[in-house]
Amino acid sequence: MKLTFLGGAESVTGSNYLLEHGGKYILVDCGMFQGDETIEQKNAEAFSFDVSNIDALCITHAHIDHIGRVPLLVKKGYTGPIYSTAPTKDEAYELLLDAHTLMVNKLKKQQERLGLAEDDIEPLFDIADIDAAMEQWHTVEYHKSLSVNPFHITYYDAGHILGSASIVVEAGGVSVGFSGDLGNVPAPLVKDTEYLPVVNYALVESTYGGRVHPPMNERKEKLHAIIEETVTAGGTVLIPAFAMERTQELLYELNELVEHDRIPHVPIFIDSPLAIKMTSVYKKYLNNPAFVDSETRGLVKSGDEIFNFPGLDFTVTTEESKKINSVLPPKVIIAGSGMSNGGRVLHHELRYLPDPQSTIIFVGYQPDNSVGRQIINGAKEVTIMGDVVQVRARVEVLGGYSAHADQPLLMKWISAIKGSVKTLFVVQGDVEEQKALCEAARKEGVHAVIPKAGEEIELV
Lowest mean pLDDT, pick from 117-121, 234-238, 290-294: 117-121
The pLDDT of residue 365 is 74
User: How far, in Å, CA of 396 to CA of 47, rounded?
Assistant: 42
pLDDT at 368 exceeding the cut of 80: no
User: How far, in Å, CA of 228 to CA of 279, rounded?
Assistant: 25
Of residues 384 and 110, more confidence is placed in 384
DSSP 296-334: HHHHHHTT--TT--TTEEE--SHHHHHHGGGSPSSEEEE
pTM listed for this prediction = 0.94
The pLDDT of residue 122 is 84
User: How far, in Å, CA of 390 to CA of 117, rounded?
Assistant: 38
Would you kindly state where each structural domain of the chain is located, as residue ranges? Answer: 2-211+403-458, 216-401
pLDDT at 116 exceeding the cut of 80: no
As assigned by CATH, the class of the 2-211+403-458 domain is: alpha beta
**Contact predicate 86/163, CB 8 Å:** yes
> Which residues are registered as beta bridge partners of 238?
333, 360
Q: What is the DSSP letter of 216?
A: H
Closest CA to 30 of 61, 81, 70: 70
Closest CA to 179 of 169, 191, 165, 162: 165
User: How far, in Å, CA of 458 to CA of 339, rounded?
Assistant: 39
The overall longest dimension of the chain from CA atoms, in Å, is 68
| Separation of first and last alpha carbons in the chain | 7
User: How far, in Å, CA of 257 to CA of 308, rounded?
Assistant: 13
Q: Please report which helix (H) or strand (E) contains residue 359, including its range.
A: strand 359-362
Of residues 40 and 166, more confidence is placed in 166
> Which residues are registered as beta bridge partners of 423?
201
The pLDDT of residue 118 is 65
- ∠ CA 429-281-331 to the nearest 5 degrees? 85
Helix (H, G, I), strand (E, B), or coil: what is residue 45? Answer: coil
The pLDDT of residue 305 is 92
**Contact predicate 81/56, CB 8 Å:** yes
What does the pLDDT look like over 392-421, one tens digit per residue? 999 999 877 888 999 999 999 999 999 999
Beta strands in 99-221 (DSSP E): 137-139, 146-148, 151-157, 165-171, 174-178, 201-205
3.40.630.10, 3.40.50.10890, 3.10.450.50, 3.40.190.290: CATH of 216-401: 3.40.50.10890
Give the alpha-carbon dihedral of 373, 374, 380, 382, to 10 degrees.
Answer: -110
User: How far, in Å, CA of 160 to CA of 208, rounded?
Assistant: 13
* Burial degree of 358 (CB within 10 A; 0-12, 13-18, 19+): buried
**How do beta strands 359-362 and 331-335 pair?**
unpaired
What are the CA-CA distances from residue 228 to residues 234, 293, 340, 396 (Å)?
10, 29, 24, 14
User: How far, in Å, CA of 158 to CA of 299, rounded?
Assistant: 23
Q: What is the mean pLDDT of residues 48-59?
A: 97
Lowest mean pLDDT, pick from 22-26, 121-125, 368-372, 379-383: 368-372
pLDDT at 120 exceeding the cut of 70: no
* Burial degree of 103 (CB within 10 A; 0-12, 13-18, 19+): middle
The pLDDT of residue 119 is 66
User: How far, in Å, CA of 38 to CA of 43, rounded?
Assistant: 10
Q: What is the mean pLDDT of residues 50-73?
A: 97
Helix (H, G, I), strand (E, B), or coil: what is residue 256? Answer: helix
Confidence band for 435, pLDDT divided at 50, 70 and 90? very high
